[in-house]
Structure 1
C-alpha cells in the first residue's frame, strides 16, 4: 500500500466525517508508518468515536515520534486522560513537564484539577497566578476555588481582588471577593458588593447563588431554602448512580464496620477535640472502626496522641478517587461517614462513587452536603427540625439530645484565672465573643452596639484574627457611637489558656447567621453561659442545640429583639448570670452535652437502626434515635 496515498485517504475520510473508515486505513498504515502525523490523526479519529483514553495514548505515541512538538501532543494527551477519568495517567504526563506548568495555563489546569480533588493544596501555590491570569473561564473558575482555601495568604487576597476587578460581572468572582472582605470585616465593601445579589434574590433569581461556595455561603445567608442553590464546584447528583449504589450486593458480618473519612484526624484540630472520646468509646465487640485519613503531613507531625485508640488508620492522603474507592472496598465498610462536607480539605466528592451501602454526613458541615451521594445526615431536633426536611436530599438521623459529641476526658478543664491577669476591668459587665471574625457581620456589630448602649456599665471582649480585623471592627463600633474603650481585643491563645480565660467574662454573646459551634461548647465547658437566638438553618441553630443539651433553653431568644433585650436584662442583673455559671458547673458532668459515653450509645444505636433498614431492603428514611433514661449519677467530677 502506498503510504502517501493511504494517509491522504485517511485524512479525506476524517475531514468527511467517515471516522471508522479513516481509522481502518490508519490501522493498516501504522504497521509501516510510525510518525507523529499518523498517530495524531489516529488520535483525532478515536476521539471523534468517543474513545478518549485510546486517543490520549495515541497522542502520547505522536509525542514520542516528534521531539520538537512533543509538548503540545503530551498536553492534549494529559487533558484527554483527565476527561476520561484516568487521573494517574494525566498526572504522570503533567508532572514530567512540571517546569512548564507555571507558564502554561492548560498544563497548570490539569495538575491543579487533580490536586484539588485529592486535597493536595500544599502543591498548588505555583499555579494560582497563571490560572488567574488566563482568559479561559474554566481556568479562572479553578483559580477562584484555589484562592478561597487560605484567606490569610496575601497572594490569595490580592489575586481574588484582581479577578473581581478584571471581571466585575462574573458572579463567581464577586462571591469570592466577598469571602475575602468578610474574612477581614470590611463591612462597607461587603455590603456594597452584596447589594446586587440581594436585589437579584428579591426578584426570585435564586440561580444567582449557584456561583457561591457552599461553605462560605452560610456565613451570610441563613435562608434554608436559598442554601440549596450554592453549588459552585459540584455536579448534580445522578439518581441512577445513587440507586445503583444502594442496590449493590454487600456482605455483612457480626460486627458493624464504620468508616470515618476526614482530613482533621489529629489531636489539635477542633473536630477531634469534640470527637476523640467517642471514637475511643466505640464498642469494639460490636463495631469495627476504620479512619480513612487524608490529613496533611504537617498536621500529623504536631499530633501527640496515640491515634490507634481511635481506630484502624488507612492513609488516603493524595490518593485519586478511584484509589480511595479501592481502599474503602478493601475494608468492606458497612457505613461510610463523611466528617467534612463542603469545608476546606474535604474529599466528600469521593462519596459519589459506591463506597458503601450506607453513606452518612456528620459534624463537619452544618447543612445539606449538596450534590454528594449521602443517605443520612446526623443531627438533632434543634438543628434539623421537621420544617427543614424539604431542603435536604439526605434523610435525618436525629440524636435525642445534641448532634455534637464532646470530649470530657481529653479536653483540659478550666483553671482559675483573674481579670487582672487578663487585663480586664474588674467592675464592668463583660460580654464576650470568641467566634471566628468572618462570623461577625455588620448586622451583628450593629446589634451589639445597641446592647452596649442600653447596658452602660458593660464592655465587649472580642478575639481579633489580625490587626486589619481589629481596625475594621473598631471603625464600625465607633461609627455606631460606641467608644473604642468599651471594646477589648484579645489574640488567639493556647488551648488550655483559652479554656480557662473564658470564665473571666460574664456572658458569651453569639453570632448569626452562623453560631459558635465548637466555640460555644468550649465556652459552656469553660463555665461561660452563652446567649443565642433561634436560627433559620442548621448553622444558625447549633448553639440552641448545645444549650438545650445542658438544660439552659432560656438562653435561646426567640428573635433579634428578644436577644438584645435579654442581653441587656442580664447585664443589669448579674446575679442571674452567676446562677447560670453555677448551673454550668453543676451540670457539666451529668447533663447530656459533655456525656461522651451516653452520646456514643445513642450514635451506635442510630447506626444499628439504619443498618436494620438496609438489611430489610428498605430505602433510607428519617429516623429519631430514642433517648436513654436520664443520668442519676455524674459521669465525672469537678474536683
Structure 2
C-alpha cells in the first residue's frame, strides 16, 4: 500500500511535469494518502495544477488544506488561498479562515485586511477580533475597518479584553492602543493608562500614538495646553476631509442688517448634560433681536424630549440627522445663517465637516468640548477669563469671546429643587463625615486617588462615597485606594440612578471632592444646585478650571485651593470644623438664588451681547478678534425662589 501511495504521488508529479494536467488531476483525485506530510505535498501539487487549468476555486480549496497541515509551505499556501478567494469574492470562505490567519498570518497585513474586509462585507465584523490588530492603521482602507470595528462593538465590557489581547499581540498598532487607553480611562485601569503614558514618550512611536488619540481622551489625560492643542485623531480627520474637497465654499459676507440669525448645531437636543445646562438659554433668547434655528442632529427619540418645549422653540427645530453633510452646508447657505454655533466640538456625534466647510460668516464653538477645537475652521470659542486667561490665547486658533462671571449656561427648568436628603434614604452612614465624588470615572486619575487618600488619612473617621456606574470600575478603584493605604471599608460606591436620586445622594454628603485635570462640569453645577460645597484646586487648562469658574460665579471662591497641599489641608479643615462647613452650606443656599451661576436670563443676555459684538466687527469689515463681554449691573433681588420650584415653576 505504501508503494502505491508513493507511486501515485510520483505519477501525479510525472503527469504534471509532462504537461498532461488532466491526467495529473485524475490521479490526484484517485489517491488515498494517509500520511499527513504526503497529503500536504499532494494538496500543494494539486493546487498548482488547478490554478494552471483555471480552476481558481479548486486551487484555493487545495491551498487551504495545505494551510491546515504542518507543512513548511502552510503559511505561503494560506496567503495564496486568501488571494484566490478574495479575487472571487468568496467572502464566506474567507470568513472561515479567521482562526487560521490568527495562527499563521497574524502579522501579514494584506492577508488580515482581506479576511477582515470579507467579514465586514458579510456584516460580521465583530468576528474579526482575533486578528483586528493586524491591520495597518497608517493605511486608510485598513483604518476604515478599524474604525468600523470599534463602532460596531457595543458591548464595552466584552470589547475591553479584545483590545487588551490585540494590544499585547500588536503593540505598535497605535489606533487600537489609543482605543484601549480611552476605555482604560473609563474603567480606572491605571496599569494600562500608565503603560500608554510610557509609550507616548517613545521617540517616533509617541508621535504616531498621539496622532490616533481621541480629542476627549487627550483633554482627560493632560492639562498641558500646548500638548492638548496638537492635532489628534479627530482634528486630523477634519483636515484630511477638507483636503479632499475640490472647491470648498468661500465665506459669505454677513447680512448688513436685520435680526441676527443664529443656528445651533448639536446632537444633544435630548436628555443630555448639554441640555441640563443650555435649555433655559434657548427659552430666554430675545426673538425680537435674534432669529434662532436648532439644527438637530440628535438620535431618534429626541422628539419625545423636545415635545416638552414651548411651541416657539419646537418650531425652530430643523432635523438634519438624516441629511448629508453637503445638504446641511447648502441649507446653511440658502438660509443665510449669520452665526453657526457648534455645541459638540470633538465629540462622538459631531458634524465637524459641516462646521469646517460651511460658508457661515461667523463660526463659533461652545459648551460641548472644553478645549480648543483643533483643526476646524472656527472664528470664536465662547469661554470666560478663568477657564481661558490671557496665557491660554496662544493655544487657540479660535479667538476667545469671554463672557463675564462664567462661560457655562445653567438651566433650572431641567433640574428639580433639591432639599437635603436624609442619610438613611440614600444609603449613607449616620454620624460619619462623608466626602463625595460624583464625576465620571474617566476623570479619576492617579493624582485624584493620591490626594483623596491623603484627605482620608488626615480625617480617619471620614468615608468617601463615589458614584460608580460599573462593578469593574469599583473593583479597580478599591485596588488603587488600597495601594495608597486606604481600606475598602471606607469607600461607598453608588451605581447609576435617575437625576433626582443623583441630586439627593449629592445633597446628603458633606463635601464633594473634585477631580483635577478634568473637573466636574455639569456635575459641579449639579452639586452646587443640590446645596453641597465642592472643593477644587486651581487648574492648568480649560477642563481643569471649570469648577473654579462655577464656584466664583456662585460666590464661594474659598472653595478653590491653590495647589495639592492646600486642597488636602482645606478638605481636612472642613471635616474637622463642621460648623464652618455648615455656614458655607447656608451661604450657598442663599447665593444660589442671587449669584450669577444659575441666573439663566442674565447669562443669556451676556451671551447675546457676545454675539452682537461678533456681528458688529463683521459688519464693520473687521476680522475676528478676542472679545471680553462686559457684565450687566448686578442684581439686587433674587431671580428665583424655592417656593417657585415647589409650585413647578422651575
Pick aligned residue for 1:272 from 269, 272, 275: 275
- The aligned residue for residue 305 of structure 1 is 308
Q: CA 1:125/1:535 → structure 2, altered by over 3 Å: closer, same or farther?
A: farther
Matched, 1:221 2:222: yes
Matched, 1:142 2:128: no
Superposed, 1:609-620 pairs within 5 Å as: 609-620=613-624
Instruction: Give the superposition deviation at 1:395.
Output: 0.2
Instruction: Give the superposition deviation at 1:142.
Output: 3.4
Instruction: Give the superposition deviation at 1:281.
Output: 0.7
User: Is the 2:524–2:534 contact (alpha carbons within 8 Å) kept by the matching residues of 1?
Assistant: yes
Matched, 1:396 2:397: no
User: Is the 2:200–2:207 contact (alpha carbons within 8 Å) kept by the matching residues of 1?
Assistant: no
- The aligned residue for residue 40 of structure 1 is none
Superposed, 1:224-303 pairs within 5 Å as: 224-235=225-236, 247-266=251-270, 268-301=271-304
Matched, 1:192 2:195: yes
Matched, 1:179 2:182: yes
User: Is the 1:461–1:490 contact (alpha carbons within 8 Å) kept by the matching residues of 2?
Assistant: yes
How far apart, CA to CA, are the structure 1 residues paired with 2:331 and 2:562? 47
Instruction: Give the superposition deviation at 1:167.
Output: 2.0
Matched, 1:479 2:483: yes
- The aligned residue for residue 167 of structure 2 is 164
Q: What's the TM-score, normalizing by structure 1? A: 0.77
- The aligned residue for residue 29 of structure 1 is none
How far apart, CA to CA, are the structure 2 residues paired with 1:189 and 1:270? 28
Superposed, 1:71-220 pairs within 5 Å as: 127=125, 129-130=127-128, 132=132, 135-137=135-137, 138-146=140-148, 153-198=156-201, 208-220=209-221
Q: CA 1:564/1:416 → structure 2, altered by over 3 Å: closer, same or farther?
A: closer
Q: CA 1:104/1:208 → structure 2, altered by over 3 Å: closer, same or farther?
A: closer
How far apart, CA to CA, are the structure 1 residues paired with 2:87 and 2:301? 37
The alignment partner of 2:455 has SS state of helix
How far apart, CA to CA, are the structure 2 residues paired with 1:456 and 1:226? 38
Instruction: Give the superposition deviation at 1:214.
Output: 1.1
Q: Could you report, residue by residue, the CA deviation over 1:136-156 in whole angstroms, capped at 9, with x for unpaired residues?
A: 533443355456667753443
The alignment partner of 1:461 has SS state of strand
Superposed, 1:416-435 pairs within 5 Å as: 416-435=420-439
How far apart, CA to CA, are the structure 2 residues paired with 1:622 and 1:206? 31
User: Is the 2:133–2:173 contact (alpha carbons within 8 Å) kept by the matching residues of 1?
Assistant: no
Q: What's the TM-score, normalizing by structure 2? A: 0.75
How far apart, CA to CA, are the structure 2 residues paired with 1:365 and 1:475? 31
Superposed, 1:43-62 pairs within 5 Å as: none
Q: CA 1:298/1:433 → structure 2, altered by over 3 Å: closer, same or farther?
A: same
Q: Could you report, residue by residue, the CA deviation over 1:53-102 in whole angstroms, capped at 9, with x for unpaired residues?
A: xxxxxxxxxxxxxxxx9998xxxxxxxxxxxxxxxxxxxxxxxxxxxxx9
Matched, 1:461 2:462: no
How far apart, CA to CA, are the structure 1 residues paired with 2:279 and 2:123? 32
How far apart, CA to CA, are the structure 2 residues paired with 1:179 and 1:538? 20
- The aligned residue for residue 375 of structure 2 is 371
Q: Which moved more, 1:382-391 or 1:493-502?
A: 493-502
The alignment partner of 2:224 has SS state of coil
The alignment partner of 1:225 has SS state of helix
User: Is the 2:405–2:553 contact (alpha carbons within 8 Å) kept by the matching residues of 1?
Assistant: yes
The alignment partner of 2:371 has SS state of coil
How far apart, CA to CA, are the structure 2 residues paired with 1:577 and 1:206? 47
Look at both structures and tell me which one has the larger radius of gyration over its CA atoms: 2
Runs of 5+ unmatched residues, structure 2: 1-85, 90-112, 644-650
User: Is the 1:246–1:358 contact (alpha carbons within 8 Å) kept by the matching residues of 2?
Assistant: no
**What is the alpha-carbon root mean square deviation over aligned residues?**
2.9
User: Is the 1:206–1:229 contact (alpha carbons within 8 Å) kept by the matching residues of 2?
Assistant: no
- The aligned residue for residue 22 of structure 2 is none
User: Is the 1:255–1:288 contact (alpha carbons within 8 Å) kept by the matching residues of 2?
Assistant: yes
Instruction: Give the superposition deviation at 1:331.
Output: 2.3
Q: CA 1:222/1:511 → structure 2, altered by over 3 Å: closer, same or farther?
A: same
How far apart, CA to CA, are the structure 1 residues paired with 2:444 and 2:473? 10
Q: Could you report, residue by residue, the CA deviation over 1:306-351 in whole angstroms, capped at 9, with x for unpaired residues?
A: 3644361111103221011122223211000000001121112211
The alignment partner of 2:221 has SS state of coil
Instruction: Give the superposition deviation at 1:425.
Output: 1.5
The alignment partner of 2:225 has SS state of coil
How far apart, CA to CA, are the structure 2 residues paired with 1:378 and 1:129? 44
Pick aligned residue for 2:537 from 533, 539, 542: 533
Pick aligned residue for 2:384 from 380, 387, 393: 380
Instruction: Give the superposition deviation at 1:585.
Output: 0.6
